[in-house]
């Protein structure tokens, strides 16, 4: 059975890595997983960047492997700058596109609920 927990790499060596999980437990990552994701492990060690790990517990020992990283700060910064650059596309006197989309979805959900709710 495996869980997904966050953690920070505290040691890298030829045999793998040592991870401090969010709960304070120490875990080990195999050398093959470290080699497959060397850049991410190195970044976590140097910058104290938190990563997500799949944790497998065997008795008191924890073994981890890097989980798919859903959050990417650099990508989010690029998206935010793109959205800022597109703000000028909105008409200043109308409703913003995101709000129009939200209102349309809200009306459609209310219509669906009224049609399918037991009366």
Domain ranges for the chain, please list them.
Answer: 2-66, 73-116
CA distance 31 to 29: 7
Architecture of domain 2-66: Beta Barrel (2.40)
Global pTM reads: 0.56
- The span from the CA of 32 to the CA of 61, in Å, is 18
Average pLDDT, the chain: 86
pLDDT beyond 70 at 104: yes
Of 10-14, 40-44, 50-54, 67-71, where does mean pLDDT reach its minimum? 67-71
Please say if the pLDDT value at position 29 is more than 70: yes
Rounded to 5 degrees, what are φ and ψ at 104?
A: -60, -45
């Amino acid at each position: 059975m495996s869980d997904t927990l966050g953690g920070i790499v505290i040691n890298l060596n030829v045999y793998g890595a040592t991870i401090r999980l969010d709960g304070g437990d120490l875990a080990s990552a195999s050398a093959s997983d470290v080699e497959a994701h060397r850049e991410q492990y190195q970044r976590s060690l140097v910058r104290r960047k938190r990563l997500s790990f799949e944790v497998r517990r065997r008795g008191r020992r924890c073994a981890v492997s890097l989980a798919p990283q859903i959050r990417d700060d650099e990508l989010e910064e690029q998206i935010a700058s793109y959205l800022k650059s597109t703000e000028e596309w909105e008409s200043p006197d109308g409703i913003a596109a995101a709000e129009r989309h939200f209102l349309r979805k809200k009306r459609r959900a209310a219509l669906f609920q009224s049609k399918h709710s037991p009366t």
